[in-house]
Structure 1
Amino acid sequence: MEWIKNMSNVIEYIERHLDREISYEEAASIANNSKYYFQRIFHYVTGLSLSEYIRRRRMSEAALELQRTDIKVLDVALKYGYSSPTAFNRAFKSVHKVSPMSAKKKGVTLISFPPIEFSIKVKGDTPMSYRIEDKPAFRIAGLRLRLTEDMEKNQKIIPDFWNEIVKTKEFSEICLLSEDNPKGVLGVSVYKDPENIFYYIASATKKDVSEKYFVYEIPASTWVIFENDGHFRESVQSVFNRFYTEWLLGSGYMYAELPDIEVYPIKNEKMGEGSTEVWISIKKDEVN
């Protein structure tokens, strides 16, 4: 249950620093993750990006101060890290739907966002089909999209990337490259460093490929593979959420922070019906 303790400690850190600078690096260190993977995990588990959660908490506290004290709006803005009144007004209205000045009035409706609490919940009513495999390093080749550390933005641009690529002849060529496991067309999220975050639409292959395709080698690892019949009944976010909040607990494993892989079946050089999978790298949990 170490991840629950770590995530709870992160929330405590954020609460202590709502009126100060919040370091994403420090938050990630508390969670025992890299900065990128911590933001990824936080979004999957909570459904919010780290920046959005912090913004909501700050605006929730700002609203309380505006209602219960005579503090000036500008002073509240500065307290919560906004040097521009315009930026503070925009952030406040995005949460409460009213201006900071209006929040001082009696009877105005405001939104409260309490701190997130992490706890163990009794689940298991929905089964998860999975298998564990050790796999040597393998090579993928395909097209890629540069991502950002903003998970919400990535979740908007990745579907657009798929819609664009599946209409091209390159997509058919990528499908034909598939020969190695995992077989199928792959959606692969790769993080090397803050300047090199990419999402690949690719195939696992040993074939020589055109220079127009990007090649990346996935390191050898142990993988937990979640299966679905037909197209995904659950979104990748839902699968990852259940991996982290249900499957990982008591499994004796921890997240290995390697590329996450979506596997889609190929039929006649197109994505077709069949078993779809999510591959997540894991390693033995030395704590347990």
Structure 2
Amino acid sequence: MDNTKRVNMVLDYIEQRLCDEVDEEAVSKIACCSFQQFLRVFSYIAGISMQDYIRRRKLTAAAMELRQNRENIINIAVRYGYDTHSGFSRAFKMHHNATPTEVIEGIKEPQLFERLFFLSPSSGENKAYRIEKGNLKTAKLINIEFKSFGPYKVIGRAIDTKLMSNDIAMTWGKFFADGSIQSLIELCKNKENLTDLPDGVAGVMYDFKEDGSIRYLIGIIFSAAAEVPDGFDSFELPAGIIAESQITGEEYEIYSQGHELTVSAVKNNGYTVDWKNFYQCEVYTDERFSNPKKDGETIVTLDYYIPVLDKA
């Protein structure tokens, strides 16, 4: 049974017990791995931590009950794990952009976060699917290669954030607006800093934590010998074997599904992901990502690197 099916089984378990605390031992048995390891797998393929997913589902279920049953607010708050009316109302408003009373009275509609369901990629078609709010979201892996890689150095701006956080989009905006990209382009004028990789800007995720937090760096990939300018951050891409894939689709599809597609293809080709030294590097090449967007295309291709262990 693959990881996707086990995640769906855990989601079923959570859905049946939204009013209860998560039993870590039960989740481990369903997932056939440690609870900590499952948290990492879930974050990778869902794009949010399991804690955030459960919180959103509880607040969605609470909104549905308020709207349908018009039950006392504090009763529903306690049912879904909130000790006080004020704490529940604060969390409710942050998620739904509406107070419980506004939902009860029909003044505002709640912002529902529906149960996720994942379909396993087909090894024949190399596709991954996610059904969200009744719509089928899909991206496609069009190529994967396994090659010697590095060492390189990504130089840019780093933040501590969470997977799929709005902080990432905001940091991209600042990266281009505050002159960071121009400073890095200056480094490219020194040929000793250059690599043989395609031109483009990279986003690297590393230092993955169990709660879904990560270190995210936006920058350009340079040679390992390149010096980091004052005020900039860096991440070393070590020498080793990587899986280099190209994921094509709408932007919102490739970001959320690139990991699952690539990991599945790694397994299908007889390799193993190097989880001990794991990072994921998304490269927005001029040829496959930037130029199509400039021409008004909505289907773009993301280059995706992850470290793997060589075949035994």
> Once the 2 structures are TM-superposed, how far is the Cα of residue 2 of structure 1 from its aligned partner?
0.3
In 2, the alpha carbon distance for the partners of 1:102 and 1:50 equals: 28
Picking from 214, 221, 226, the partner of 1:203 is 221
TM-score with structure 2 length normalisation? 0.65
In 1, the alpha carbon distance for the partners of 2:272 and 2:176 equals: 33
**2:46 corresponding residue in structure 1:** 42
> Once the 2 structures are TM-superposed, how far is the Cα of residue 8 of structure 1 from its aligned partner?
0.9
In 1, the alpha carbon distance for the partners of 2:17 and 2:79 equals: 11
**2:297 corresponding residue in structure 1:** none
Deviates more, 1:95-104 or 1:255-264: 95-104
Alpha-carbon deviations, 1:241-265, whole Å to 9, x = none? 1562598368346655532223345
**1:262 corresponding residue in structure 2:** 282
In 1, the alpha carbon distance for the partners of 2:12 and 2:101 equals: 29
**2:304 corresponding residue in structure 1:** 279
Picking from 186, 196, 207, the partner of 1:173 is 186
Deviates more, 1:8-17 or 1:110-119: 110-119
Q: Is the 8 A contact 1:190 1:197 kept in 2?
A: yes
- In the alignment, structure 1 residue 238 sits paired with structure 2 residue 260: no
In 1, the alpha carbon distance for the partners of 2:301 and 2:106 equals: 54
> Once the 2 structures are TM-superposed, how far is the Cα of residue 101 of structure 1 from its aligned partner?
4.2
Identity %: 18
**2:243 corresponding residue in structure 1:** 223
Give, as a single letter, the amino acid of the residue that structure 2 aligns with 1:184. D
In 1, the alpha carbon distance for the partners of 2:226 and 2:107 equals: 68
- In the alignment, structure 1 residue 190 sits paired with structure 2 residue 209: no
TM-score with structure 1 length normalisation? 0.69
In 2, the alpha carbon distance for the partners of 1:10 and 1:158 equals: 33
Picking from 248, 251, 266, the partner of 2:268 is 251
- In the alignment, structure 1 residue 144 sits paired with structure 2 residue 161: no
| Structure 1 residues 37 and 118: alpha-carbon distance in aligned structure 2, compared to 1, 3 A threshold | closer
| Structure 1 residues 51 and 182: alpha-carbon distance in aligned structure 2, compared to 1, 3 A threshold | farther
Matches within 5 A, 1:61-210: 61-66=61-66, 72-93=72-93, 99-101=99-101, 114-120=114-120, 128-164=141-177, 166=179, 169-176=182-189, 178-194=193-209, 197-210=215-228
Q: Is the 8 A contact 2:206 2:280 kept in 1?
A: no
| Structure 1 residues 277 and 102: alpha-carbon distance in aligned structure 2, compared to 1, 3 A threshold | closer
Deviates more, 1:239-248 or 1:144-153: 239-248
Q: Is the 8 A contact 1:141 1:209 kept in 2?
A: no
Alpha-carbon deviations, 1:16-65, whole Å to 9, x = none? 5522444899789668847456424212xxxx665553233212322454
CA RMSD of aligned residues (A): 4.6
Q: Is the 8 A contact 2:121 2:264 kept in 1?
A: no
Count residues with an aligned counterpart: 275
In 1, the alpha carbon distance for the partners of 2:302 and 2:107 equals: 51
Structure 2: 5+ residue runs without aligned partners? 128-137, 293-299
| Structure 1 residues 62 and 209: alpha-carbon distance in aligned structure 2, compared to 1, 3 A threshold | same
Structure 1: 5+ residue runs without aligned partners? none
